[in-house]
Amino acid sequence: MNVLVIGSGGREHALTWKISQSDRVTHVFTAPGSAGMEGCATCCPDVGTGDPAAIIALAQKESIGLIVIGPEDPLAAGLADQLRDAGFAVFGPSAAAAQLEASKAFAKDFMKRHGIPTAAYESFDDLEPALAYVRGRGVACVVKADGLAAGKGVVMCATVDEACVALREVMEDRRFGDAGARVVVEDWLMGEEASYYAITDGERIVTLVAAQDHKRALDGDRGENTGGMGAYSPAPVFTPEVERKAFEQVVVPTIRGMADDGMPYTGVLYVGLMIDASGQPNVIEFNVRFGDPETQPLMVQMDGDIVPVLLGSAQGDLDESVRLAWPGASVCVVLASDGYPRDYPKGVAIDGLAEDGTLERGDDAVVIFHAGTRRAASGGFETSGGRVLGVTARGDDVQQARDRAYKAVSEISFDGAQHRGDIAARALGR
């Protein structure tokens, strides 16, 4: 079977890398893909994620048996619907179901309607009522752009003044574009975060191991929210009891609720959770695709063939008895451009990578996933995005995986490179 992966970032590189290892797969294509992915797939740089006609033509030409959609934007735009209408098996939800991520207000209203634990909130279409609300509350809160903002549309506000500044930036200055035309203001939940994944065909469910993302730009969870500066798996906070609660109180009612509301959900459901001191999980957000960068350590740690699970979801015959194995641990450290998550330069030469995009020195326990790179005219690779590389390592435990990842990070450099130095430190400090 030939497989087509839609997207070009680190998440898609990790999925492509894992899918290419399946005995059920003859060849993997990516659209548009990236130069860093050429070692495990045929890239189609002229086929964009927003061009359904070109994707359909490519899939027909290459006899594609499964299409895996990576990013959220094409899912929200209805790409999965169009590809299914063209007769393809597609991993990813419909546009209607993708509202769980495409609209924070939709997701919050859905959770309230179906009794799914989450923070108290209010939604606003106008700036002045939003300002009056945060002033009236007088406590810390979280301001979220309603629409898609590449994982960066969330502002943690410790004071009323910070909340007012955030609201003006989002709604008035349109820092996140049209995604900020509406905002959700919600309570600031306390606890520890975890990312939980469930693959479903709309009825049956297979869960994956939980990971922990690091959203803030700076060590100690300081600085602005980003798309993610690193992740590791497994997450110690996600105990069997926490997982039971998350599955029974969040995953199952979400899948059932979407079906009851006439929007059956297929694909992967990403549940961002805040787990409080008592072990109670509350939903921070839903994503309708694999997370980035959590996918990188998940794919590296996973022992088993992911393709039957993806295909079962796409075809509506997911086998719930499948149990993927997760031996050891995996850690991903993101190398980002200077200035990220705001403005950043492009075209900065990267040192330490081999011609095929792998680690120049070589280490079988380390995989370099390309998130924002391109071929340089003079040879090698240069930066082309905010998050540049996901340096990912496996190990017998978190400590070993972390040591390997940071050693590899030390062997890669480019002007202005930034990374967090405390990825997975919380797991080791328990």
Closest CA to 305 of 278, 324, 332: 324
Cα angle vertex 313, ends 282, 306, to 5°?
90
Q: In sequence order, what are the residues at sequence separation of 6 or more whose Cβ sits closer than 8 angstroms to the Cβ of residue 191?
A: 274, 275, 276, 277, 282
Domain formed by 2-91, architecture = 3-Layer(aba) Sandwich (3.40)
Of these ranges, 218-232, 250-264, 312-326, the one predicted with the greatest mean pLDDT is 250-264
Mean predicted confidence (pLDDT) in 9-31: 98
- The pLDDT score that the predictor gives to residue 152 is 78
Does 362 have pLDDT greater than 90? Answer: no
CA distances from 375 to 97, 349, 355, 390 (A): 37, 10, 9, 17
- The pLDDT score that the predictor gives to residue 221 is 92
CA distances from 117 to 207, 209, 357 (A): 19, 21, 43
Of the pLDDT bands very low, low, confident and very high (cuts 50, 70, 90), residue 52 is: very high
Of the pLDDT bands very low, low, confident and very high (cuts 50, 70, 90), residue 150 is: confident
Superfamily of 192-315 according to CATH = ATP-grasp fold, B domain (3.30.470.20)
H or E stretch covering 2: strand 2-7
What's the pLDDT tens digit per position in 231-274?
999 999 999 999 999 999 999 999 999 999 999 999 999 999 99
- The pLDDT score that the predictor gives to residue 170 is 94
| CA distance linking residue 150 with residue 76, whole number of Å | 13
- 2-91 and 126-181 share one CATH topology? no
Closest CA to 195 of 115, 85, 270, 299: 270
User: Average pLDDT of the chain?
Assistant: 96
- The pLDDT score that the predictor gives to residue 408 is 97
Q: In sequence order, what are the residues at sequence separation of 6 or more whose Cβ sits closer than 8 angstroms to the Cβ of residue 68?
A: 3, 4, 5, 6, 15, 19, 91, 92, 310
How many of the other CB atoms lie within 10 Å of CB of 279?
A: 13
What's the pLDDT tens digit per position in 374-385?
999 989 999 999
Q: CATH for 126-181, among 3.30.1490.20, 3.40.140.10, 3.40.50.300, 3.90.550.10?
A: 3.30.1490.20
Domain formed by 329-428, architecture = Alpha-Beta Complex (3.90)
- 3-state secondary structure (DSSP) of residue 171: helix
| CA distance linking residue 99 with residue 125, whole number of Å | 17
DSSP strand pairing (64-69 vs 90-91): parallel
Q: How far is CA 267 from the centre of its chain?
A: 14
Where do the domains of the chain lie? 2-91, 126-181, 192-315, 329-428
pTM (two decimals):
0.94
Using the Cα atoms of residue 162, residue 166, residue 167 and residue 169 in order, give the sign of their dihedral.
positive
Q: How far is CA 328 from the centre of its chain?
A: 22
| CA distance linking residue 328 with residue 413, whole number of Å | 28
| CA distance linking residue 10 with residue 293, whole number of Å | 7
Q: Strands across the sheet with 183-187, in order? A: 121-124, 183-187, 141-145, 154-157
Mean predicted confidence (pLDDT) in 94-102: 97
Q: Are 285 and 272 in contact (CB under 8 A)?
A: yes
- The number of C-alpha atoms within 13 Å of 224 and in the hemisphere containing its C-beta is 12
Q: Are 171 and 130 in contact (CB under 8 A)?
A: yes
